[in-house]
Amino acid sequence: MKLFADANILVSVFNKEYPLFPFTARILSLAGRDNYEIYTSPVCLAIAFYFAEKKHGTSLAKEKTALLCRHISIAENTRDGVQKVLINPAIHDFEDGLEYYAAKASQCHCIITENQEDFYFSEIEVLDSREFCRKYLPGK
């Protein structure tokens, strides 16, 4: 299963933010397992880096980002994706549109975000971290 982790999922793990951390860390820990492939985008990484840097400093933010990037896949933000965001009248937030089209181009089955309402236009399943764990990782 291909999963797309939105920036707020990464921020939760980088900054160990409760009460979400147990769920978001569990999701990112699926990276590298046979049945799962975790994706994020350069934009999500930049956002997560920004918040990690504010809390932990540049050096540790770089370490956390480098470690994450060794275990997950990076979905591309492409010219085609940008154009699709710009012409899609249903998309009102440019950044969310970029994330959506990056996830779609990578053939992700699910977008995991704590702001589900941001992806009201999505044809891909959108779940928050708790919902994802309840639905796909029960008892694990």
Alpha-carbon span 66 to 2, nearest angstrom:
21
Total domain count, the chain: 1
- List the chain pLDDT tens, one digit each, 140 residues: 999 999 999 999 999 999 999 999 999 999 988 899 999 999 999 999 999 999 999 999 999 999 999 999 999 999 999 999 999 999 999 999 999 999 999 999 999 999 999 999 999 999 999 999 999 997 75
Domain around 130: 2-136
Residue 133: which residues within 8 A CB-CB, separation 6 or more? 23, 26, 27
Q: Assign 3-class secondary structure to 1-55.
A: CEEEECHHHHHHHHCCCCCCHHHHHHHHCCCCCCCCEEEECHHHHHHHHHHHHHH
Q: pTM, whole model, 2 decimals?
A: 0.94
CATH code of the domain in which 28 resides: 3.40.50.1010
